[in-house]
C-alpha cells in the first residue's frame, strides 16, 4: 500500500499533517525523525515536520537527508525547510522577533507543481523564531511574503540530475509556513499538489477500503478464536466492536462496565444501541463497588487510580467467565500510540489503551483501529452503518463524572451532576443555527471534526451547537456552596460550571462562544429543575493554560 512518511521533529502540529494527508485518501505513517524505513518499497514521499528547536541548538534533532533526497519527493515544513537549507550550505539566522501568525504570500511561482492553482496573496500561517536568509546552490525561491523572502523554495530540476520535476518529481520542496493548519487557507491544496501530483498517490486509502481490508485481515488473524472487547460507550470502542463483529460474529463478546458515574441513563441507552447493532454484550452494573471504594476520596489522581483498578478487576472477573477466549480487543487509535512515545522512542506518558495487558489474562492483543485518526474512525463507523448519535459523540473521560465532581464522590452528587449535564447536553443538541454552506464548513472544521464530509454541505444548513463543539460537559463544584433565593427562602447549595470547547485534536482548545439566549435558557432550566443547584457559571478558559477537564 502506498504511503507518505512524516518524520516528526517534535512539532505540535505533526499529527495535523498526518490528518491532512489522510484526508487526501492517502495512507501516511508518522515516525520519529531518526526512524526512516529505508527498506519500505511502498513509500512514495517524505514530509519533514516542524520542531520546537532551532537548527543551531546543540540538542536539535537532525537526520541524514541522503536516505531519501534524490530517491523520493521531499517536503520540508518550517523547521524541516530550515534544516534542509542549513544542511546543504544555506543560511538560517535568528530574527529580531518571532515570525508568528498570519502572513500573505506576495509572490508565488504558480508554474511550480507545489503551487499549481494557488492564488497570489494567499494567506499562510507562520510560526518560527529563525528564518532562512540564503538558500543552497541549486535551489530557487518559489514564494515570498513581505517579511520572509524565502517563504518557499525548491530544488531546480538539474540539482538532482532530473530532466523535469513534473515528469520525474523526486526533488525537494520546502515552506517556512504551516500548510497543515486551518489558517493557511490554501494549505490543503499545497499538500494535495505534493501528495497527489508530485508523489503520485493513487488516493486509494478510504473508509470503504479500510473496512474491506481490515475485515479480511481480522478473519485471517483471529480464525475461530474467541475475542473479548471492553466497551466504554465511546466512539473508538464502539466502532472497533462493530468492525470485529463483521469479521468474527458471535466469537466476539463485549463487556460494558457501569461504574456508576456515566451520564444520565447512559448505561441503559448504550446497551440498547449495542444490542440493536447485533453485538453480543455483557452489561455489568458495578456501581456499588465503585462508590464504596471512592468513599471520602477527594484527590483527583487517587480517584482515577481507584476507578482504573476497580475497572480492571471487574472486567477481568467477567472475562474469566468466557471460556476459550484468546484475544483482548481494544479501541486503540493512532494518536494513542503516537502520544505514548516521544520522537526518541521513549515513553513520555502512558495511555489507557497502550502499554500491554495484565499478565494473568494470558490474552493476545488485537487493535483493529490502530492506524486511524479520530475523524477516520468516525468515517469507518458511517461506512459500517452505525447510528449517527454514536459516531458523533463528544469525547468523555474514562473515570466519567468522577473527575467532573470537585471533592468526594457520593451517589447524590452524581445524581445532581447527571441531571444538570443532561439538561445541558440535550440543549446543545436541540439548539440549531442556520449557516451558509461555506460558513458551516469553516465553523465545523475549526471547532469540531465530529461531522460527516464537510465538502457535501449545501448552500444553507442547520447545525446544532453540539456539532460545532469538540467537547462539552457540566462540572459540580461540590466543595463550594453559594447563597441563593428560591421563592421566599434562602438557599445554600452548589454551583455548577458549564464547559464547552472547540478544538481539532484536543492538544489545544478554545472556549466555545455559546449564544447568550441559549446560556440563559439552560441556566434557568438547571436551577429550576435540579435540586441541589442554585447557581450556574460558564468556563471561559482555554487550553493551555487550562485543561479541558477540571480534574
154 - beta bridge partners?
140, 173
CA-based nearest residue to 76, from 29, 38, 114: 114
Select which of 128, 178, 394, 494 is catalytic. Answer: 178
* HEC assignment per residue over 418-450: HHHHHHHHHHHHHCEEEEEHHHHHHHHHHHCCC
Pairing outcome for strands 123-134 and 139-145: unpaired
- In sign, the C-alpha dihedral spanning 29, 79, 89, 118 is positive
Sign of the CA dihedral with 447 first, then 451, 455, and 461 last: negative
DSSP lists the bridge partners of residue 499 as 473
Q: Specify whether 259 is catalytic.
A: no
**Residue ranges in 63-151 assigned as alpha helix (H):** 79-87
Q: Which residues contact 343 (CB under 8 A, 6 or more apart)?
A: 8, 9, 10, 32, 33, 34, 61
Between CA 505 and CA 470 the distance in angstroms is 9
Candidate list 28, 29, 78, 551, residue with the active-site label: 78
- Catalytic residue chosen out of the listed positions 180, 318, 493, 551: 180
Do 49 and 20 form a contact (C-beta atoms < 8 A)? no
CB neighbours of 520 closer than 8 A, spacing ≥ 6?
A: none
Question: With helix as H, strand as E and coil as C, how does 321-370 read?
Answer: CCCCEEEEECCCCHHHHHHCCCCCCCCCCCECCECCCCHHHCCEEECCCC
78 included as an active-site residue: yes
Task: Give the angle subtended at the CA of 493 by the CAs of 489 and 494, to the nearest 5°.
Answer: 150
Name the DSSP class of 471. Answer: E
Is residue 178 among the annotated active site residues? yes
Q: Quick one: CA torsion of 174, 179, 180, 182, rounded to 10 degrees?
A: 170
**Would you state the cell numbers that stand for residue 155, as one nine-digit string?**
530544488
Look-up of cell digits 528547536? 53
Which region, left, alpha or beta, applies to residue 106 given φ > 0 means left and ψ of -120 to 50 means alpha?
Answer: alpha
Helix (H, G, I), strand (E, B) or coil at 6: strand
Q: Which of 225, 230, 234 is nearest to 255 (CA)?
A: 230
Contact indicator for 95, 193 with CB cutoff of 8 Å:
no
Q: Which residues pair with 43 in a beta bridge?
A: 3
Residue-by-residue DSSP string for 292-323: HHHTT---HHHHHHHHHHHHHHHHHHHHTTST
CB distance 509 to 543 below 8 Å: yes
Euclidean distance between the first and the last CA atom of the chain, given in angstroms as a whole number: 42
Question: Any idea which residues carry the catalytic annotation?
Answer: 78, 178, 180
Amino acid at each position: 500500500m502506498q504511503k507518505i512518511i512524516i518524520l516528526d521533529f517534535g512539532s505540535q502540529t505533526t499529527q495535523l499533517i498526518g490528518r491532512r494527508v489522510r484526508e487526501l485518501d492517502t495512507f501516511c505513517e508518522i515516525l520519529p525523525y531518526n526512524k526512516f524505513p529505508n527498506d519500505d518499497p511502498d513509500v512514495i514521499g517524505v514530509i519533514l515536520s516542524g520542531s520546537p528547536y532551532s537548527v543551531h541548538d546543540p540538542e536539535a534533532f537532525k537526520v541524514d537527508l541522503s536516505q531519501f533526497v534524490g530517491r523520493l519527493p521531499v517536503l520540508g515544513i518550517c523547521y524541516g525547510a530550515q534544516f534542509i537549507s542549513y544542511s546543504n550550505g544555506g543560511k538560517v539566522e535568528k530574527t529580531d522577533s518571532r515570525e508568528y501568525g498570519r502572513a500573505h504570500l506576495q509572490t508565488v511561482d504558480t508554474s511550480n507543481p507545489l503551487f499549481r492553482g494557488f492564488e497570489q496573496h494567499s494567506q499562510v500561517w507562520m510560526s518560527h523564531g529563525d528564518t532562512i536568509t540564503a538558500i543552497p546552490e541549486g535551489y530557487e525561491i518559489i514564494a515570498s511574503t513581505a517579511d520572509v523572502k524565502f517563504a518557499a523554495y525548491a530544488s531546480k530540476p538539474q540539482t538532482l540530475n532530473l530532466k523535469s520535476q513534473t515528469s520525474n518529481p523526486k526533488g525537494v520542496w520546502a515552506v517556512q509556513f504551516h500548510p497543515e493548519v486551518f489558517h493557511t487557507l490554501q494549505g490543503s491544496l499545497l499538500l494535495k499538489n505534493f501528495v497527489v501530483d508530485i508523489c503520485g498517490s493513487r488516493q486509494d486509502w478510504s473508509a470503504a477500503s479500510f473496512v474491506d481490508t481490515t475485515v479480511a485481515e481480522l478473519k485471517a488473524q483471529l480464525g475461530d478464536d474467541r475475542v473479548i472487547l471492553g466497551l466504554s460507550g465511546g466512539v473508538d470502542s464502539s466502532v472497533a466492536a462493530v468492525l470485529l463483529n463483521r469479521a468474527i460474529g458471535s466469537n466476539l463478546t463485549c463487556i460494558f462496565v457501569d461504574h456508576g458515574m456515566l451520564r444520565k441513563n447512559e448505561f441503559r441507552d448504550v446497551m440498547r444501541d449495542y444490542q440493536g447493532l447485533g453485538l453480543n454484550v455483557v452489561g455489568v452494573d458495578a456501581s456499588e463497588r465503585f462508590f464504596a471504594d471512592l468513599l471520602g476520596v477527594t484527590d483527583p489522581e487517587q480517584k482515577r487510580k481507584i476507578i482504573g483498578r476497580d475497572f480492571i478487576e471487574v472486567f477481568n472477573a467477567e472475562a474469566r467467565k468466557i471460556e476459550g477466549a484468546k484475544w483482548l480487543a481494544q479501541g486503540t487509535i493512532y494518536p494513542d500510540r503516537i502520544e505514548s512515545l516521544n520522537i526518541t522512542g521513549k515513553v513520555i506518558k502512558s495511555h489507557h489503551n497502550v502499554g500491554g495487558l495484565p499478565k494473568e489474562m494470558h490474552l493476545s492483543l488485537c487493535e483493529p483501529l490502530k492506524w486511524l485518526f479520530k475523524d477516520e474512525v468516525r468515517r469507518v463507523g458511517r461506512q459500517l452503518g452505525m447510528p449517527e448519535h454514536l459516531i458523533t459523540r463528544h469525547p468523555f473521560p474514562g473515570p466519567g463524572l468522577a473527575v467532573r465532581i470537585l471533592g468526594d464522590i457520593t451517589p447524590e452528587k452524581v445524581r445532581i451532576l447527571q441531571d444538570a449535564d443532561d439538561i445541558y447536553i440535550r440543549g446543545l443538541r436541540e439548539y440549531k443555527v442556520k449557516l451558509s454552506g461555506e460558513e458551516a464548513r469553516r465553523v465545523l472544521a475549526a471547532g469540531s471534526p465530529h461531522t460527516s464530509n464537510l465538502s457535501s454541505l449545501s448552500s444553507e444548513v442547520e447545525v446544532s451547537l453540539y456539532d460545532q463543539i469538540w467537547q462539552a460537559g457540566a462540572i459540580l463544584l461540590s466543595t463550594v456552596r453559594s447563597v441563593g433565593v428560591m421563592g421566599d427562602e434562602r438557599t445554600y447549595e452548589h454551583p455548577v460550571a458549564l464547559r464547552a470547547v472547540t478544538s481539532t485534536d484536543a492538544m489545544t482548545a478554545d472556549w466555545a462562544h455559546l449564544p447568550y439566549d441559549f446560556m440563559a435558557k439552560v441556566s434557568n432550566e438547571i436551577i429550576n429543575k435540579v435540586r441541589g443547584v442554585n447557581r450556574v457559571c460558564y468556563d471561559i478558559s482555554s487550553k493551555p493554560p487550562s485543561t479541558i477537564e477540571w480534574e
